[in-house]
Amino acid sequence: MCVGKVIHGGALWQPGIRCVRDYDSVIAADVNDAWYPPSPRVLEAIAEWAPCANHSPDTACRRLVGALSDKFRVDAEAIRIGAGSSDLLHHIVMSSVRQGDEVLTLEPTYAEYAHAAALAGGRVRTVVLDPGAGFAADVEQIVEAVRRGPRLCVICNPNNPTGSVIPRAGLLRIVHAAAPETLVLLDEAYIDFRPEDSLFADVPDYPNLAVVRTFSKVYAMAGLRVGFAAIGEGFLTAFDEHGRPPWPVNLLGLRAAEAALEDDDFIRERVVECNQLKDQLIRDLLAPVIQSSTSYFLIDLAGSKLGAVDLLERLKSQGVFLREFSGFSDLWPDRFARVTIQSASNNDRIYLLINSLLA
Ligand SMILES: Cc1ncc(COP(=O)(O)O)c(C=O)c1O
């Protein structure tokens, strides 16, 4: 479990990246950003509204909230907007966890939950996923842990970095096992790859359920920082009273998100394309991988000529960045590395390099 400073991928944040074409100088397969630009409708909306950037946006983000409420059939009262899902995840943790409270999560998983929980004074406990089972979660084990009454249970579904999914029925078992004082928080950052397993529209039925989603992943808008959450009524007041600055999202981000919601075809097509690219990359790689439902997957380097640390260093020297597993868990040191799907030509560069280094 990682509770200290969280390391995120950052090949593209180097000071040397100064203009748009500098992005081509590295392959940033170390972050789960989309490799493609946003929908043309989003680009049009940004261009149209850019001259209005001198105006403040609506503090309550009413147009976006209304569009989300219509799309997901969730009462607008339950929806909150944030500067990316990170903003909402942190705020939900900070507003629900008190000093000494137990916070339950999975391991390995996205490290921000443990980080925020530690900042709030929580004690983090993890249910460890088994690599031998492809990191599939054992729902009964989670149900048992939830019955012990943690203040918060955070689950990333699909999970980062494993790409494994808890199907809807399993999630509902977990929600039903939770006492009213336990908040079940689902991070659905990658749910567009498995929309049928979302619990976003179920939030009105469960006062102790909160679901956070983002425009940063399949919508390809990570640079715009727009996330949204549905929060059960048992935890909504705490969220609002914990203190939020006004204008969580900038004007262009809001208009872009509204436009993005009107282009469902774009999302469907990108998911199909990403899955095809992923399947091809997995076929091309000589190393074994953990099967994933998302646009990223883990390479398993157990028994390989190089461990993960050495492999990543050598790839980096060639401008190819993968993600260190140590940012998700201290378990299995040096065994796994996470790859995020890129364009077909960049995926070719990735597999050719990895195969040559592992040969
Ligand atoms: C599981 C998960 N949740 C949330 C985030 C944060 O995304 P954002 O704040 O851009 O919405 C990430 C980013 O990589 C993530 O992997």
Res 174: pLDDT: 98
Helical segments of 33-97, H only: 40-49, 62-72, 84-96
- Which is it for strands 102-107 and 183-187: parallel, antiparallel or unpaired? unpaired
Res 20: pLDDT: 77
Residue 189, ligand 1, Cβ within 6 A: yes
Best mutation site among 86, 193, 324 for ligand 1, i.e. most ligand atoms within 8 A of its Cβ? 86
Dihedrals φ, ψ of 352, to 5°? -65, -45
Contact 89, 185 (CB under 8 A): yes
Quote the ligand 1 centre to 326 CA distance (angstroms). Answer: 17
DSSP 25-47: GSEETTS-S-SSPPPHHHHHHHH
Residue 208, ligand 1, Cβ within 6 A: no
Res 237: pLDDT: 97
Res 9: pLDDT: 67
DSSP 254-322: HHHHHHHTT-HHHHHHHHHHHHHHHHHHHHH-SS-EE--SSSEEEEE-TTSSS-HHHHHHHHHTTTEE-
* Sheet of strand 152-156, all strands in order from the earlier edge strand to the far edge: 79-82, 227-231, 209-214, 183-187, 152-156, 102-107, 123-128
Res 1: pLDDT: 60
Residue 227, ligand 1, Cβ within 6 A: yes
- In 260-284, which positions are buried (b, 16+ CB within 10 angstroms) versus exposed (e)? bbebeebbeebbebbbebbeebbee
Quote the ligand 1 centre to 358 CA distance (angstroms). Answer: 31
d(CA 206, CA 187): 16
Quote the ligand 1 centre to 345 CA distance (angstroms). Answer: 26
Atom of ligand 1 at shortest distance to CA of 225? 10
Residue 163, ligand 1, Cβ within 6 A: no
Residue 116, ligand 1, Cβ within 6 A: no
Best mutation site among 12, 13, 91, 214 for ligand 1, i.e. most ligand atoms within 8 A of its Cβ? 214
Angle, helices 344-358/264-284, rounded to nearest 10 degrees: 20
Quote the ligand 1 centre to 31 CA distance (angstroms). Answer: 10
Residue 105, ligand 1, Cβ within 6 A: no
In the chain, pLDDT over 70 holds for what percent of residues?
96
Res 21: pLDDT: 74
Atom of ligand 1 at shortest distance to CA of 85? 11
Q: Which of 292, 311, 214 is nearest to 253 (CA)?
A: 214
Summarised one tens digit per residue, pLDDT across range 167-225 is: 999 999 999 999 999 999 999 999 999 999 999 999 999 999 999 999 999 999 999 99
Instruction: Tell if the pTM clears 0.85, that is, is over it.
Output: yes
The parts of the chain modelled with pLDDT lower than 50 are none
DSSP 124-142: EEEEEPPGGGTT---HHHH
Best mutation site among 107, 112, 191, 324 for ligand 1, i.e. most ligand atoms within 8 A of its Cβ? 112
Compute the Cα dihedral for 269, 271, 272, 274 and give only its sign: positive
Res 2: pLDDT: 53
Identify the residue whose C-alpha is closest to ligand 1 atom 12: 189
Res 5: pLDDT: 63
Atom of ligand 1 at shortest distance to CA of 215? 11
d(CA 217, CA 52): 26
